[in-house]
Structure 1
């Protein structure tokens, strides 16, 4: 037994009262695809086909890494610091990269999982071979995400999506009380933002979902990123019709009025993205934003001329438990007069104190002018 597994066993044993279910008690879980899945026991050997799911687990479990025996799409955590914090017991076995065809079925099976957590991106609809093989071996599969840029998701909205995902993970991990507490926390913070924004006109915003020096211009779609922008009192650009993201021509961006530009950055630097994320100094993020607005044509954007340029860590959008932080900070940028005294940094501190097994170190957002 390795150190991660041993420590995880101690934590589950010492905090058993928190889970409110016996480890050997079967439970039914409704996953994000609406599938009802029976888990014969509390899982102890989980393979994540989207490694960033460990961030949601960390909101509900004191040592999520003790339960994860392998993962895929590790780069989508988008933070070397966060990844390392979950690998203190040693490197996590990798069963795939960023796309479905890289998944290794043999690699998954070699880890003897008692649960595989998938997404509709890594296991697309119609890809029955993997599910059939796992099912034949008695290995349950739950889906943690079903959104797609090709197929619009059910119109549940980001808040209900968050609650469903947290509830699913609460059932998987036997942490329903913690899941309920987190949902209440999210509702309270989102309600405060909504109260302050009541009656405010939406602010047209260029929310860039893939900010790099060598490509332009990927804008937030009508769902997911765009819906969260709406909660923050904004609206995406009028030509956008795709659910997740859409590539626009620079000429359109230049001639389309918008008030605020929010770029996305992270801990990996492919395409020379701005360095924004856990533990990265704010000065590095600002330097990255300066390079972005130096791209051809960007000096003409109304948002850039008014110096209303900001950047976020992608995890604030791609990991639903962090969506509350995105809504708060974006609302401050879009409506500074209404949310001047709102403190997203205090919200991050509360998340770290009350929920996160592995605290997340800021800054997770930055502005070109502080």
Structure 2
């Protein structure tokens, strides 16, 4: 099927019946994605394929009243990576159980013929998939059958690319004003933290950020100078792994953690029951069981990497929702981390209320607490 379509496109172009290279036409605009690529897309987009299911985090913030109205297919990760969040959306939008799903381009399991059959106006991909799509020439293959691909980024360099990504999708969806409203809210909430820290200039505690703690037996995945590593810095801390990991993600060994003797340990977690059934991961997220999360967090601190470190001795050990790392909601995580690192300075800041406001203003599902937990939390 795909070969027939490619051959037809090529023959029509050769015969002069369609242009071999598209130029701006009525109903189409040229947009620049976060990789700097200029892409011509018909707007407003009526049918979109989401290259990652968790892209619904930003789609829902723009199409709040009907977040799935444009979605004709998506990658199959949302349910697996954020089971609690998926269940909330499924309860309100049961039709999502029947949405066509795709494997990942990074794994080489993306089905091009299935994508063609859905006839989308655009496919939205995360920037971390670009190397794989380039290697497979997926972007070029989709372009030849009239499916443009745009790249967004909330993960590799979120503090460079979140605002441009939201504005890009706002343009594609005809929701520019809504995108600007979200961007303004996000930046206002971050500014609450950065302005106060700039004025007070408090000492900066050392923080060990462990990525997906307990997901596997390995220890310990962490963050370099971006993503949660950058969130630590914005929240008024020193990211322990910042000088160890050259990129966004990497590994620190247990000896490095013991030697650094961090003041705080923050691990990321989610409900990964479909990935690692009964695993040691900390299941924070919407409506999470706080007692169970604390117990699992305490168990993780018995690993050799944390033997005798200051954070564990002082119970300055916390877990936070992993999906803040790949969504435009990072500002809530920054507020909560600032509150952990500088409790007196941010005594009046209420990240729960910020998260509630995010849901009430921008999201179609109700807010359920459970996105973070500390060993010192009361029952």
Q: TM-score, normalised by structure 2?
A: 0.83
| 3-state SS of 1:69 partner | strand
1:58 aligns with 60
Native 8 Å contact 1:229 1:236 kept in 2 = yes
- The alpha carbon displacement at 1:281 in A equals 1.9
Matched, 1:172 2:146: no
Residues 329, 76 of structure 1: alpha-carbon distance in 2 compared, 3 angstrom cutoff: farther
Moved over 4 A (4+): none
Pick from 68, 88, 94: which aligns with 2:94? 88
Q: What is the aligned partner in structure 1 of residue 304 from structure 2?
A: 296
Deviation at 1:159, TM superposition (A): 3.6
1:5 counterpart residue number: none
Residue 282 (structure 2) aligns with: 274
> Does the Cα contact within 8 Å between 1:100 and 1:121 map onto a contact in 2?
no
1:228-248 deviations in whole A, cap 9, x for unaligned? 211111121154232212211
Unaligned runs of 5+ in 2: 1-25
Is residue 77–residue 315 contact of structure 1 (8 Å, CA) maintained in 2?
Answer: no
Q: Does 1:309 align with 2:308?
A: no
- Aligned-partner Cα distance in 2 for 1:202–1:139: 48
After superposition, give the CA deviation of every residue in 1:80-128 in whole Å (9 maximum; x if it has no partner).
2322315511412211048331222223223222211112333316325
Residue 180 to residue 35, structure 1, CA distance change in 2 (3 Å): same
Structure 1 unaligned residues grouped into runs of 5+: 1-23
Alpha-carbon distance between aligned partners in 2 of 1:147 and 1:184, rounded to the nearest angstrom:
20
Classify 1:322/1:259 alpha carbon distance in 2 versus 1 (closer, same or farther; 3 Å).
same
1:29-40 matches, cutoff 5 A: 29-40=31-42
User: How well do the aligned residues superpose, as a CA RMSD in angstroms?
Assistant: 2.1
Q: Is the 8 A contact 2:223 2:245 kept in 1?
A: no
Q: Choose which of 140, 146, 162 in structure 1 pairs with 2:148.
A: 140
Q: Distance in 1 between matches of 2:336 and 2:363?
A: 20
Partner of 1:211: 213
The answer to whether the 8 A contact 1:228-1:327 is kept is: yes
Contact 1:266–1:313, Cα closer than 8 Å, also in 2: yes
Tell me which residue corresponds to 1:185: 185
Q: Aligned partners of 2:160, 2:230: CA distance in 1, in Å?
A: 12
Partner residue of 2:81? 78
Q: CA deviation at 1:187?
A: 1.6
Alignment of 1:338-357 (within 5 A): 338-357=345-364
Question: Which residue of the partner structure matches residue 127 of structure 1?
Answer: 135
Q: What is the 5 A alignment of 1:351-366?
A: 351-366=358-373
1:197-235 Cα deviation digits (max 9, x unpaired): 121232210011121161211121112221121111112
CA deviations 1:159-185 (Å, max 9, x no partner) are 442211111111111111111111111
> May I ask how many residue pairs the two structures share in their alignment?
338
Please state how far the C-alpha of 1:146 moved relative to its aligned partner. 8.4
TM-score of the superposition, structure 1-length normalised? 0.85
- Specify the SS of the correspondent of 2:285: coil
